[in-house]
Structure 1
Amino acid sequence: MPTHVLPEAHGDERGALLAFLEAQRGGVRRTLLGLTDEQAAQKPSASELSLSGLLKHVAETELGWLRRAQQRPSEVARTEETWADSFRLVEDESVAGMLAFWDKTARETEEWIRSVPSLDDTFPLPEAPWFPPASRVSMRWLVLHLIEETARHAGHADIIRESLDGKAAFELVGEASQG
């Protein structure tokens, strides 16, 4: 699990973007270190968010954007009725299972970004009131958006973890390396 981003030795933009994305993923992952599924499901702050719910949300969101860029349907389709399930583990889902799902998605995201001919290649945005009609964005935009989205939720996860047991993510890395 990366704890910092190393600059790309040869100025590779794709590698740099993917390294920053992975660093933000690590921010979310670290907040889960040493917790049971029950602890990760707790909502200790004024928010309705839990660590396991944030994990599921960022994993599903990354897959959704990847599929949108690939112009393929996502395996995880949410409706208005199932939207809340994207923020909580249900049925037989677990933190370990969701981490494995996200790892698979992350590998696929990296493979996709490294395989596209150009980061300037575009794909259509979905029809939504918050996007201009018939908009297209680049693969570069995709990775930057995933960095932004994951970083926002990594910050939420830090606050939730500190509310649970007073531990900050950087403290958890030290404990994990000593264990």
Structure 2
Amino acid sequence: MSSGTQSGDERTLLLQFLDEQRSVLRRVCSGLTAEQLDTPLPPSDMTLGGMLKHLAYVESWWTTGVLLGREQGEPWDSVDWRADVDWDWHSARDDTPEQLWELFEREVARADEVIAAAGLDDLSARANARTGERASLRWILLHLVEEYARHCGHADLIRESIDGLTNA
């Protein structure tokens, strides 16, 4: 981690790690054109624009959809996920950079509001479809950090392939 404390309470540290991963993604994806945001690094078809939209969805799903058990709102509610389970990744090519950033920042802000109103031990309203288990906010925060960390590694490689930028 590049900033923050190393000795705070559990909640502070979890949120600090999540914010740091969000910041890494912002740095890696910043300053790119629509064409660059839609550039994959073969053999993967992942793009940085798709990643921004996917992580916006992940923020919304885990906080609003799972923790609160509520509809997520648009654009998520009208998607035919059965027709394309990776719609968030694929549809990003149809969005402008401004639309992608607005969606990402809006979902991060919404997620932060949900997180601020819950305790680490609060259980999700929605249970896991396979196990019936409900996730705690603590687990959800750890999962968000995991999801960002995985994709930030991908993002570093994709960005370097686009314009040579490293350590964004």
What is the TM-score when the length of structure 1 is the normalising length?
Answer: 0.81
Does residue 97 in structure 1 map to residue 95 in structure 2? no
Matches within 5 A, 1:70-81: 70-75=68-73, 76-77=76-77, 78=79, 79-81=81-83
Q: CA deviation at 1:15?
A: 2.5
**Distance in structure 1 (CA, Å) of the matches to 2:72 and 2:114:** 15
Q: Which runs of at least 4 in structure 1 moved beyond 6 Å after TM superposition?
A: none
- Partner of 1:153, secondary structure, is helix
Q: CA deviation at 1:81?
A: 0.8
- The aligned residue for residue 85 of structure 2 is 83
- The aligned residue for residue 54 of structure 2 is 57
Does 159-168 or 119-128 show the bigger shift?
A: 119-128
Q: CA deviation at 1:153?
A: 0.5
The one-letter code of the counterpart of 2:139 is W
Does residue 38 in structure 1 map to residue 35 in structure 2? yes
For the Cα contact (< 8 Å) 1:45–1:163, is it kept in 2? no
For the Cα contact (< 8 Å) 1:43–1:49, is it kept in 2? yes
**Distance in structure 2 (CA, Å) of the matches to 1:8 and 1:122:** 27
Q: Percent identity between the aligned chains?
A: 34
Name structure 2 gaps, 5 residues minimum: none
Does residue 19 in structure 1 map to residue 16 in structure 2? yes
For the Cα contact (< 8 Å) 2:50–2:93, is it kept in 1? no
**Distance in structure 2 (CA, Å) of the matches to 1:86 and 1:44:** 18
Q: CA deviation at 1:19?
A: 1.6
For the Cα contact (< 8 Å) 1:8–1:15, is it kept in 2? no
Q: CA RMSD in A?
A: 1.9
For the Cα contact (< 8 Å) 2:63–2:115, is it kept in 1? no
**Distance in structure 2 (CA, Å) of the matches to 1:95 and 1:49:** 16
Q: CA deviation at 1:85?
A: 2.2
Q: CA deviation at 1:152?
A: 0.6
**Distance in structure 2 (CA, Å) of the matches to 1:22 and 1:109:** 12
The one-letter code of the counterpart of 1:64 is W
Name structure 1 gaps, 5 residues minimum: 173-179
- The aligned residue for residue 110 of structure 2 is 108
Does residue 119 in structure 1 map to residue 120 in structure 2? yes
Q: CA deviation at 1:84?
A: 3.0
Q: CA deviation at 1:160?
A: 0.7
Q: CA deviation at 1:12?
A: 3.5
**Distance in structure 2 (CA, Å) of the matches to 1:12 and 1:107:** 22
What is the TM-score when the length of structure 2 is the normalising length?
Answer: 0.85
